[in-house]
Structure 1
Amino acid sequence: MTGLLAAAAVLTAPRWLPARVVALRRRVFEGVNGDHAITFPNAEFGPDRFLEVYGHPAANGRSRGAGLSDLFWYWLSPGPEVHQEHLEEGPRYDDAARTTRALLAGPADALSAAAARCAGRVLDERAGGRATLVRLRDLMAPVWAEYFYELVFGEPCPRAARDLIVGHADDVASALKCTGLRHPARRARLTRYLARRVAAGDVRRPLPASLSPAERVHYLQGTLFTTGVVQMSEAMAHLLLVLAQHPEVAARLAADPDDDRYFAHVLDETFRLYPLFGIAHRVTTGDIALDERTTLPAGSVLCFSYPDYHASGHDRPEVFDPDRWDRVPARAAHHIPFGVAANRPCPAWRLSPLALRAATGEVLRRVTLHSTAGHTRSLPNRGPCLLVRVGEPLPPRRLAVLGALLRLRDRWEDVWRSVVQLVLGTVMVLHARRLRLAERYFDTRDDRGCPVPHRPPHTQETPE
């Protein structure tokens, strides 16, 4: 009997084990901030108050005083202290934000053409056969590595530079999803490359003058070649995976590539179901009165849940339905794919839709997409998908067999991957807590990021 129960547990593991492990991982990460974090929306203050609190002038602290900051700085090293997302308010942030806007600016036609060009090169290189099995995030990472390289340096991206950027971005993304540990030496190779290019004056826009030479390199690496490449690769993987699993939507886009309105609806629905951020945390720099009985004191850690907010106020929120945006304007819905204007919206809010649309057009012009893999917001499986060359369809029976095998492989990978995520996530939480990167930084720096004369005890260990 024991043997039968054990066999049944093993055979049914894909149905129950991943969900159990996800719940355990959630408990681990909830413990990072202890009892000092407040998540919105919640039972008392629902989605109707979400934007009010998110956009409050006092909800503007980025890293100082949040237990989660040590973990995110750990994941985003090197140079998380000058990553635009983690810079505190002040001249250094203003300088970095101006530089980012300048690097991401340009005529819409030129930004779109560059995305199409980069996507076409990578697709011709990696998906040239009749049928190719890929991981969409891995397929798209070289596209956006080349794209952001062109935006930064104003020239085509050499293969060696692309490999450095992709290796770094993949290392960050894998650590964030707890599917792999960090590899600081791999990240440092890109740092050294960028340092040489910055020293040679190759960047097409001036870098923030308020940052030191080393900080300028870290700003460039973190903002453009970490967040830019990772987030656009994730966005494109989500978009292509929904097209693979909703062929009628893909067919409509392919049949009318100039239909900007329908593509916007597809993109809005993709970001609604699969927001790129799970939780955004902020630290209050002043008191926030919620009502006559409740005030959030300065120093409170606020966690804003994008998935919970995006799921509220919609009919059948679990269903992918681009046509819902014909009935509800995006601005009137619970929908903030690029954050909120009152609290540092994503600097790529204009560029991203243009570039994603152009790259998607290149994909649909070349291949049809097919996938039976699981699709979750965090996308730890990196989006398994079969690409079939346009005009050379596979026989339906063969396609069905490949789909069944893909689904079976993905479900069993999910069992092993969920255990790996639990173990590695716990290891990294504990390591980040020991290193205390953010806490140490703010113990030894003033509000402008300048060193203070006194260095507290127990900080002799080098963080990296």
Structure 2
Amino acid sequence: MWLTGLLAAAVVLTAPRWLPARVVALRAKMFEKVNGDNAITFPNAVVGPDRFQEVYGHPAANGRSRGAGLSDLFWYWLSPGPEVHQEHLEAGPRYDDVARTTRALLAGPGDELSALAARCAGRVLDERVTGRVTLVRLRDLMMPVWAEYFHELVFGEPCPRKARDLIVGHADDVVTSLKCTGLRHPARRARLTRYLARRVAAGDVRRPLPASLSPTEQVHYLQGTFFNTGVVQMSEAMAHVLLALAQHPEAAARLARDDRYFGHVLDETMRLYPLFGIAHRIATAEIALDERTTLPAGSVLCFSYPDYHATGYARPDVFDPDRWDHVGAREAHHIPFGVAANRPCPAWRLSPLALRAATREVLRRVTLHSTVTHTRSMPSRGPCLLVRVDQPLPPGRLAVLGALLRVRDRWEDVWRSVVQLVLGTVMVLHAHRLRLAGRYFDTHDTQGRPLRHRPPSPQEITE
């Protein structure tokens, strides 16, 4: 009996070392099942990293949602309005109309875009950093910053606190469900939808909205593109940058002296911790790579950013911004904003400017300290200590706080891994049952037009 108890205690005490990795592997198997038999992940043994961007940018690798089982899951997570989310619109006039509007709303002089990011970051930091040391989760800290930022880009005015709370509640609900650390809450998301509907009806958006979309679709477009993807991705990117600086104080110290160094820090952070794990496309025609290799039409092409970013570098698992002194953009296996030939991120210009300005504002006020595990998906949301620069802590106290933070993070990771497995399974099954993308394309064409439910008459054919 005592031996059984001893073994059980050993299993429990060592769980932080082995359980999270096992659960991640199980979740990966689950998502492979969602992809189905027609999914092909790149790079692979046939299409290596040297041809990764060639396939990614192929003209036939342009399907977005129709025909992929994985789309049902993403539409489920991104509701409401995934059918007009810019990332998931099929190619054609409607996408072109939406993309023009997005570019217009994100445009502006670089110094103004930077100054806005600094102001938003400063306001939030003044609210949150009130003592000598503050424990935060970096993603949570950054969400109000980018909620205010995108609200002002869209509406041309500062973000009211009530609107900020609606945006943050919605964006947090989306990213929490995406990471399978919580279920989605449609009612919480609907509150933001109603706010945006009022603003759109009042004509408050500072640029004309896509004329190809209905009023409801225009609201969902704003919600999905700016107040979901924009807020979530910028918050995640900022959290990764700050956590990397917290764990590499030499990089943070150099950045404080040399603002130009930020480009290397951002490149290295996005290489090591890309915001996307897998980007999927559907082959709308055969893709003939050579006389031996043809990817069939209808294939679900899954492009693994982490695997691609880990090739072509010495010590790829090491955070080393200095490597970018010797790596040119052309030869680098590095696509933080996608590829130019296949819908790059519309914020490819704005993001570095805004991230640099916000990071500068953070480092002007605090030093960053963290001992937690830094992973690409960051389900922990980035626990970190912020210490006011004018009130530094003794090294001994920082070491104690760091040890406590590390222990807490390891045990949180055990519980969180189990939650992710359970909730991920629940949501995959629910999304499969709802079949949101599949049902939409059962009744609509790729431009959102309702399909006929009867064969056309001979007269309609001749017309």
Scaled to the shorter chain, the TM-score interval is over 0.9
Name the % identity.
86
The residue matched to 1:133 in structure 2 has which SS?
strand
Alignment of 1:54-453 (within 5 A): 54-256=56-258, 259-260=259-260, 262-453=261-452
Q: What does residue 9 of structure 1 align with?
A: 11
What is the identity, as a one-letter code, of the residue corresponding to 1:43?
A: A
Shift, 1:155, TM fit: 0.4
What is the identity, as a one-letter code, of the residue corresponding to 1:272?
A: R
Shift, 1:454, TM fit: 2.0
Q: What does residue 458 of structure 1 align with?
A: none
d(CA) in 2 for partners of 1:368 and 1:128?
A: 14
d(CA) in 2 for partners of 1:330 and 1:353?
A: 15
CA contact (8 A) 1:25 1:422 kept: yes
* CA displacement, residues 88-147 of structure 1 (integer Å, 9 cap, x when unaligned): 001110000000000000000000000000000000001121100000000000000000
d(CA) in 2 for partners of 1:2 and 1:94?
A: 65
d(CA) in 2 for partners of 1:290 and 1:425?
A: 35
The residue matched to 1:302 in structure 2 has which SS?
strand
d(CA) in 2 for partners of 1:25 and 1:203?
A: 41
- In structure 2, which of residues 19, 26, 47 is the aligned counterpart of residue 45 of structure 1? 47
The residue matched to 1:272 in structure 2 has which SS?
helix
* CA displacement, residues 253-308 of structure 1 (integer Å, 9 cap, x when unaligned): 1123xx32x11011000000000000000001111012212211111100000000
The residue matched to 1:397 in structure 2 has which SS?
helix
Equivalences, count:
452
Range 341-350 or range 44-53, more displaced: 44-53
What is the identity, as a one-letter code, of the residue corresponding to 2:129?
A: A
* CA displacement, residues 210-268 of structure 1 (integer Å, 9 cap, x when unaligned): 00000000000000000000000000000000000000110111123xx32x1101100
d(CA) in 1 for partners of 2:240 and 2:209?
A: 32
The residue matched to 1:387 in structure 2 has which SS?
strand
Shift, 1:382, TM fit: 0.2
Shift, 1:395, TM fit: 1.1
The residue matched to 2:346 in structure 1 has which SS?
coil
User: What is the RMSD computed on CA atoms of the aligned residues?
Assistant: 0.8
d(CA) in 2 for partners of 1:196 and 1:131?
A: 40
Shift, 1:161, TM fit: 0.2
CA contact (8 A) 2:243 2:370 kept: yes
Shift, 1:182, TM fit: 0.4
CA contact (8 A) 1:58 1:284 kept: yes
d(CA) in 1 for partners of 2:67 and 2:234?
A: 29
d(CA) in 2 for partners of 1:134 and 1:401?
A: 17
d(CA) in 2 for partners of 1:397 and 1:210?
A: 61
CA contact (8 A) 2:38 2:298 kept: no
What is the identity, as a one-letter code, of the residue corresponding to 2:270?
A: F
The residue matched to 1:332 in structure 2 has which SS?
coil
* Long gaps (5+) in structure 1: 456-464
CA contact (8 A) 2:104 2:207 kept: yes
d(CA) in 2 for partners of 1:325 and 1:113?
A: 27
Shift, 1:452, TM fit: 1.9
d(CA) in 2 for partners of 1:74 and 1:378?
A: 19
Shift, 1:396, TM fit: 1.1
d(CA) in 1 for partners of 2:255 and 2:16?
A: 34
TM-score (norm 2): 0.97
Q: What does residue 460 of structure 1 align with?
A: none
What is the identity, as a one-letter code, of the residue corresponding to 1:422?
A: L
The residue matched to 2:135 in structure 1 has which SS?
strand
Shift, 1:402, TM fit: 0.3
d(CA) in 2 for partners of 1:347 and 1:34?
A: 30
d(CA) in 1 for partners of 2:26 and 2:446?
A: 37
CA contact (8 A) 2:150 2:230 kept: yes
TM-score (norm 1): 0.97
* CA displacement, residues 136-171 of structure 1 (integer Å, 9 cap, x when unaligned): 000000000000000000000000000000000000
CA contact (8 A) 1:103 1:151 kept: yes
CA contact (8 A) 1:268 1:330 kept: no
Q: What does residue 460 of structure 2 align with?
A: none
d(CA) in 1 for partners of 2:445 and 2:150?
A: 32
d(CA) in 2 for partners of 1:239 and 1:362?
A: 13
CA contact (8 A) 2:42 2:304 kept: yes
d(CA) in 2 for partners of 1:316 and 1:294?
A: 31
The residue matched to 2:241 in structure 1 has which SS?
helix
CA contact (8 A) 1:289 1:295 kept: yes
d(CA) in 1 for partners of 2:8 and 2:81?
A: 48
Q: What does residue 459 of structure 2 align with?
A: none
Shift, 1:368, TM fit: 0.1
d(CA) in 2 for partners of 1:52 and 1:368?
A: 42
